[in-house]
Structures are given as C-alpha cells and as structure tokens.
Structure 1
Amino acid sequence: MTTAVPAPVLRELARTEGGPRALDHLVHDQSTRRLLLLRALLDAVQDAPAARVGPGARQRMAEDWALLETAEQAGPRAGERVRALLLRPLTGPLIRHALAALTGPRTGQDAELTEALDHFSTLAATAAISAGVPFTARLTAYEGLLALPSLGALRTEGTAPRTVTAAFTGSALTLSPDGGGPVTVFPQPSYGAWSADAAWLPAYALPPLTPGADLVPLDDMSPYRQVPGPAHSSLSRAVTLDDHSRKRWYEAWSGTAALLALGGPHRTGEAVRLLRSVVPLQTPPGATTEGHPSGSCSGTRKEAFGVVLASVPPSPAGFAALLVHELQHAKLAALCELTPLHHASAEAVHFAPWRPDPRPFDGLLQGIYSHLALADWWQCYALAAEDGPARDHAWGEHARRREQVGAALPALVGSEDLTEQGRVLADGMVSAYLHLSRVEPPAGHLARARAYVDTARALWQQRRTRG
C-alpha cells in the first residue's frame, strides 16, 4: 500500500521537522495499517482450515471481536479509548505474531498460535474495561503474568499457562486464577488500575510532556516488549521496573520537555504526537558510574509505531537527545511505508562513520536522517546554554554529528537508486545540513570531530582491504 506524499509534507520531513499536518499524515497511515491488520487477523482465523484453528478457537475469536465492537460502540469517549488501545505500539507485534503463527508452517507453531490468540482475548477484555462494558471471560496468564495493557498485570503462581476468570462489573474487575483466590482491581479513569492485593502490579507512566498531552506509558509488562531476532542485537533485554529503577526514569524525564523545546516547537510537537510508550531496557554493561547510569542504548520497532525502547538515560539532556534520535527513525520508517524512497538492494556496503560495520543503503539513509536532527538539536542546545560543561558538551556532540552527516551525505545524494520522492527528501536533507553552518562550533570541537570521522574512515578502509 503506497501513495504519493504531498509535497509540503515531504519538504517538512526532509528538514527532519514536521508540523501537525505532516505528523498527522504519518499517524493516519499507520493507524489505517493497524486496523487493516486487525481485520486480516479476524479473517485469517475464520478462514483457516479446521486442522489449524479448531471450532473452539474460532468461536473464541468471534466472541473477542464482538466484545471489541461492543466496547467501541459504547459511546464516543469509549470508542476513543478502545481505538487508542488498539493503536498502542505493542498491539502491533501481537497481531503480527498471531498472523505469522497462523499462516506459517504448522510444525511447532500450534502453541505459539494458541498463546497469541490468548493474548488477543486479553486485549479484547481490556478494551471492554476501558469502555466500561461489563463482561465475564476466561483469560490465560503466561510465565506467571496476565498483562492487561494500560492497566497492569496479575501475578500468578508458576510459569505454566494458567486460566484466569475475569469478571468486570463496569467499575471493578475481579480476577480469579484457577486454584487461587480472587483479586479485585479498580481501573482508573485515565490510566492504570489499583488493588490492595500484592498480586496486582499497576501500570505506570511518565507525566505528559506538555499540559494537556497524554501520559507516556512505561511499558514494562507486555509479553511483546522484547525484540526478537538479530536486527536489534545491540539492544539489551527488556526489564520490569521496581520502585528504585522507576524513580531513575522519572528523574531523567524531569526537564526533558524544556530541553526538547530548545530545538524548536517541532521537536516538542513530534514527541507529543508520536511517542506513545517507552519500553525500559537493562542498562548496558559498563554504562554506569558509581551505580548511576552514564550511558544508554535505544531503538525503535517498525511494527510497533510510536514505541521507543531504551535503557534509562543518564540525564534529561540525554533523554531529549534520545527522543530526537529515535523519533526520526519512527518518522522515516512511516514515510517509507507510505512511498518508496529508493530501490537499492539490502547489501551492506556503505561507510557510515557512526558504525564500524558496513551499512545497507536503507540503514545509511536512516542514520543520516537521525544524526542530522541530532546535529541540529545539539546546536540549538549549545546556543541556548550558559558557558560551562553543559554547553561544551553540546558543542562537541553537535560537531561530531555534523561531521558524520557530512561524510555520509555524498553516497546518499549521488545514488541513482533514489526515487523521485527520495530525491526530494535527500535534497532537503542537504539544505538542512548546509543550514547548520550558520553558526560554527568552537574550533577545538570541530577539529576533534573531523579527526574522529577521519579515523573512522581509515579503519573502515583497512577492514575493507583485509576483507
């Protein structure tokens, strides 16, 4: 599903910016794709042969879908809440996993399909709760946890799948694990749920970035928060937060909005519009100083639009820079789904001064785009900061990102694999890069940045020669 992108939208995005119109264009397309996937899952279950999906599972899916429809039609506010739940980032991996288990080779995937459809049942139940629709359903906990998105999770004994009867009255939810006592939970109007029972783990969220904006969930309980496969091998594992580690997240978040705004209203705007949840990751080994985080790792997921996966950033400035970086990846990935930007192969052959390994053309494009935005934001930060270590650090980060982009841009701009819209994007990125030269960083920082890129290039050439 591809479509032409309006020229004003493409030009805004090319500058690594994006006002409400451009961001709405991306969000609307991603939302449409998610709803189409949902419908595809329903159709796939109903059309699957009996050998793959038995009558019980087929009937269960029909009941879950009917519950979703009832919840969405319970009123305008209820419909908004249900739609928001279905569009939560990690609902995407759930649906895709279920489709993959349903349509892939049967051998060894029956258990995966059962688990995926069980999680879908939990999603439907959560939607009914968010809409205030009473119901009774039998859900399944896995690995000792029944996670209800945006509400929290029930801890159960053991790691084997365990049936939990859920009964919602419209105001209170009673969860009764087979062989265990009932746990009463009280959903809150905006986010989360509380219970006096220690078996209930409430969901937490970071405060809104701006007044009136949405909370930013700390999604540390979803069964689909861990990224599979080698594509994200640089990321550490997803973790569940305790009170101490959660406090560090709040401390890093405090002040992030003000620092983001230094880059212009578009930086705050894209974070408010695009950031829908944060998945906490373990702090990478060696990234702590005296027990406190001094570095972090982060990433995004194409199939989970709106999520940022990250270990706790070392500071509000680190958090702001992380968001600038990762939200560019989210924007560009969404744009690439709207329209092809290039026809290059997936072969990893390109030099990228921010990575020691060769990159495919798409990875080069993504890296240039995110580093260009970082160079711009760090420059704005340096110009706004008072003299001192923070300003000095900002100039150093700006100079390094700018020189890295300058070293990689020629391969992008000179490529014959760019489509017409890809060419518009690349030309806009060049203009944004040239705009950075309106203010030069201190000479020492510029010299060090150039030496850094020269060293990276020399090592790259050595490796190619040896290979």
Structure 2
Amino acid sequence: MSPPIPDRALRELGRTEGDADSLGLLVRDQDTRRLVLLRAVLDAAAAAPTTVCPPHLLDRLREDWALLEAAERADRAAVRTVLFHPMAGPWAQRLLSGLTAATVTGPDLPAGLAHLTALAVAAAIRAGVRCTALLAPRAGLVSLPTLGAVRTDSGPVELAHSAGEMLIRPANGPPLVARTQPDGTMTSADPRWLPVLALPALLPGSGPVPLDDVDPYGTEGGGLPRHGLSMAVRMDDHERKAWAACWSGVEPLLRTGGEHRLTEVAVLLRCVVPLGRPPGSGADAGGVAHCSGTRREAFGAVLSSRPATSVYFASTLVHELQHTKLAALGALVRLHHEDATPRHFAPWRSDPRPFDGLLQGAYSHLALADYWQRSALGARRVTSRDLAWAEHARCREQVGAVLPVLAGSAGLTREGRVLVNEMITLYHRMDDSPPPPGHLARAKAYVSTVKVIWQQRNGSRRQ
C-alpha cells in the first residue's frame, strides 16, 4: 500500500513549499472529507429521533438532496463549487453535532437544516437547473452560498430560477430579478441583492476568489473573540473598493516572495471572509490594527480584517495558508503523539501553547521568514527592503527560539520527523543571506524580552 503522501511532497511541505501536485493531494483529501461529512449529515438526520428531526424537516432535507443530485448530473463542477465552499464546512459540522446530540438542540437545528435548501438552490443555479424554494431570512438576509444574498425586512422569500434568471419575491416589497453572468457571478440592478464580490484570479487558469461577507456561517460558531479575532462584517461600496485595490497589488509581491507563494494562493485559497477591526483596537486605530485567522473546518478560507496595504495582504495570505496546509496535512497523516497540554513558550503568543499549536505557529512563522527574506532580496526600494529585513529577522528569531522543542520531541511520528527536519533545513538555509546586523540585533533583543516577560507570567509552566 502506498503512503498517504509521498516523501517528496512531505519534504516540500516541510520547507513550507509545495507544487500544485503536492498541494493537490491535500485538496483532494479535504474535498473527499467534505463529501463524507455531507453524507453523514443525511444519514444522521434519517437516524435521528423525531424529537430532534421531525418528519417534515427530514422530507425537506431529502428534497434538497434530490435537487443537489439533479444539479450534479447537469454540471458536477458547478455543484462542487458550492459543496466545497469553505463555509459549508462549519455548517455541516454544526448540523451533524446537533443531529447526533443526546438532547434536543433548540432552534439552531431547524435553521441548520434549512440552510441545505440554500446550498441546493445555489448549486442548481450554478448548474443551470430549474428550481423553486421558500427561504427564511437570518439577520435580515436570505443567503445563497457563493452567489450573494437578498436583503429583506421580514418574512420568507420565494425564489424561482430558470434559464439563468432568478425571480425573487420578498414577503414585503416588490419582486426583483438577479441574473447569472458568464463568470458565474449573479448580479441585479436592485440594491436589495448583495452579490459576493469576486477578487480577480492571480494566475491564468485559476479562478477568482470570493470576498464573502454574506454567508451566515462565515464566523458563526468559530469562537473567534477567544483568538483575538473580530466577527464578520458586511461591506459597503467604499469598503469593497478598498479591498479590491488592496488585492490588486498582491500578485507581484507574492511573486517576489517566491513563485510557490503564488501557487499556494491559486490552489488553496477559496474565499476571504472580511472581518471587522480587532477587538479592543478602537475606532481611531486607523489602518494599522489587523487580525486574521483560519478555521480547520473551513478549508480554503482566510478570515481577515482589511490589511492596511497590499504588502500586508500578501503576508497575511502567506501566514494563514500555512495553517491551512499544515492542518490538512495533519488530517491526512499523523504528525505527532504529543498531548494537548498548553505548556510551551511561543514568542508570538503571551499564553502557553500546546505542542500542536507550537508546531502550527513555528511553521507559519518559518514561511513568513522565508517570504520576507526573498522580498528583501528582490526589493528595489530602500523602504521596502528595510521593512522586509525587519520582518524576516523577527520571524526567523521567533522560529529559532522554538525549533529545539520541536526537534527534541519524542512524540513525533516518522512523517512528523521528516517535516520538522525539513523545517530545520530551511531555517539554516536562510543563513546564506543574513539580515543587516541592526535588524538582527533588534530581533534577538525582542525575542529575549518576550521570553523574560512570558517566564514571569507563566514561570511554573514554562518549557
């Protein structure tokens, strides 16, 4: 039996790289898991007691599933665009947990089951299949995943789709029409329709990246405030233009930081969820305050407040897509047998980290150190070069402070050992082009100071 991932691909990933074939292994595994998860939802609903999933809800779920099957017969790729949308993951996980719970889970369960109707309708529209539906709003929106949402005051909304045209009849107000465009987006002259903004593809052959501010599962249930992240926000026209302008400068920056960074975005990034300012940043924080993250159950999504510049948008993608890569790799092969006790020092966090969190953080910061070094070496402007060297020096020193813990772990599996060894190889390879002495000295002083503060705060748990 062949291993889940070839050693060549594993070594590439250990160096925070990965070509389209290596990354494709992770993508296919995650897509398969999504299909299994969706099937598990259907089976769990059928097996659930009527107190959890009443017959009328089960009948509706089966009708939605039949519509999905009809749409897939018409255009499989179009349907997979909807089913593999990152935010379908949190929805399916939450719904499955509710259906298999020992007790009745309350009003969230009917809403979760109803969301399958929205997914099925969106898939049918993309596949060009006729359909009708009645959908209730959530927080003033009726959302069709990957396409957009209808703003409505109250009451259910009737939808009827045929030949690329969707007639929308809100409970209050006149009807409106939205039409499917050749690029797969759906537009309407009526301001009540809120389309999902599509950020242009970065590479020929790759698809546009949705900037999705209308999916109800963008941040719901993710516990984001615990991780210093704000909740999803709806963008006005000014904010959409600002995001688009910021995105427009990302491609050359990623290319300077390494062609493999462009490949990561093209293969892995499926949507960006816009967040508000970081909690506690205040209204006067300007464009400096920033937060970003990923969700394991939302493969391919990067959640981010709007970066101040294209430079930080590019580095945010580099950072967060490493978490996406490593989480997907960890689902495919076991990397370690360490427990989840939070006890390790990480220079990028003030709290003790479990081993897996330490590995995740070191991996993403190692990629950033590599990206910023390449950017510094390729920069034409002195200010850009200076910024890149400063960021590189800080990230590399942070990684160097924790690599001995990772390398010394007896809990690493064979695959985990290969991964960490390749991380060490990349770390030392960066010695070939060291940063200016001043940047290096400041980075060392920074990490040393952070460690002293951490030990004073968490001394009894330090390692």
Match of 1:59 in 2: 59
Q: Does 1:174 align with 2:170?
A: no
Q: Does 1:201 align with 2:198?
A: no
String of CA shifts for 1:145-173, please: whole Å, max 9, x gaps: 10112221111114xxx322211122211
Q: Does 1:155 align with 2:151?
A: yes
Query: How far 1:289 moved relative to its partner?
Result: 10
1:342 to 310, 326, 336: 336
Query: How far 1:192 moved relative to its partner?
Result: 2.2
AA aligned opposite 1:66: A
1:100 to 83, 90, 97: 97
Give secondary structure in 1 for the equivalent of 2:324: helix
The unaligned stretches of length 5 or more in structure 2 are none
Match of 2:262 in 1: 268
String of CA shifts for 1:119-165, please: whole Å, max 9, x gaps: 1111101111111111122222222110112221111114xxx3222
String of CA shifts for 1:214-249, please: whole Å, max 9, x gaps: 111011001001153546521011100001111211
Matches within 5 A, 1:221-370: 221-228=214-221, 230=223, 233=226, 234-284=228-278, 292-370=286-364
AA aligned opposite 2:62: A
Q: Distance in 2 between matches of 1:399 and 1:15?
A: 18
Q: Distance in 2 between matches of 1:102 and 1:285?
A: 33
AA aligned opposite 1:375: A
Asked whether the 8 Å contact 2:224–2:230 carries over to 1, the reply is: no
331-340 or 281-290: which moved more?
281-290
Match of 1:435 in 2: 429
Q: Does 1:141 align with 2:133?
A: no
Give secondary structure in 1 for the equivalent of 2:434: coil
Q: Does 1:80 align with 2:77?
A: yes
AA aligned opposite 1:81: A
Judging changes above 3 Å, is the alpha-carbon distance between structure 1 residues 171 and 191 closer, same or farther for their aligned structure 2 residues? closer
Q: Distance in 2 between matches of 1:289 and 1:44?
A: 45
AA aligned opposite 2:137: A
Q: Distance in 1 between matches of 2:80 and 2:6?
A: 26
TM-score (norm 2): 0.95
Match of 2:127 in 1: 131
Query: How far 1:387 moved relative to its partner?
Result: 4.5
Count matched residues.
459
Asked whether the 8 Å contact 1:287–1:293 carries over to 2, the reply is: no
2:374 to 380, 387, 406: 380
Query: How far 1:196 moved relative to its partner?
Result: 2.5
The unaligned stretches of length 5 or more in structure 1 are none
Asked whether the 8 Å contact 1:3–1:338 carries over to 2, the reply is: no
Asked whether the 8 Å contact 1:342–1:419 carries over to 2, the reply is: yes
1:189 to 141, 161, 182: 182
Q: Distance in 1 between matches of 2:211 and 2:3?
A: 34
Q: Percent identity?
A: 51
AA aligned opposite 1:135: C
String of CA shifts for 1:268-310, please: whole Å, max 9, x gaps: 0011000000000112267699884124110001000000000
Asked whether the 8 Å contact 1:341–1:420 carries over to 2, the reply is: yes
Match of 2:210 in 1: 217
Q: Does 1:34 align with 2:34?
A: yes
Please, what is the CA RMSD of the aligned residues? 1.8
Query: How far 1:104 moved relative to its partner?
Result: 1.5
AA aligned opposite 2:152: T
Query: How far 1:197 moved relative to its partner?
Result: 2.2
Q: Distance in 1 between matches of 2:331 and 2:280?
A: 37
Q: Distance in 2 between matches of 1:56 and 1:209?
A: 45
Judging changes above 3 Å, is the alpha-carbon distance between structure 1 residues 289 and 180 closer, same or farther for their aligned structure 2 residues? closer
Q: Distance in 1 between matches of 2:281 and 2:203?
A: 30
Judging changes above 3 Å, is the alpha-carbon distance between structure 1 residues 444 and 286 closer, same or farther for their aligned structure 2 residues? farther
200-209 or 358-367: which moved more?
200-209
Judging changes above 3 Å, is the alpha-carbon distance between structure 1 residues 425 and 247 closer, same or farther for their aligned structure 2 residues? same
21-30 or 96-105: which moved more?
96-105
AA aligned opposite 2:41: L
Give secondary structure in 1 for the equivalent of 2:298: coil
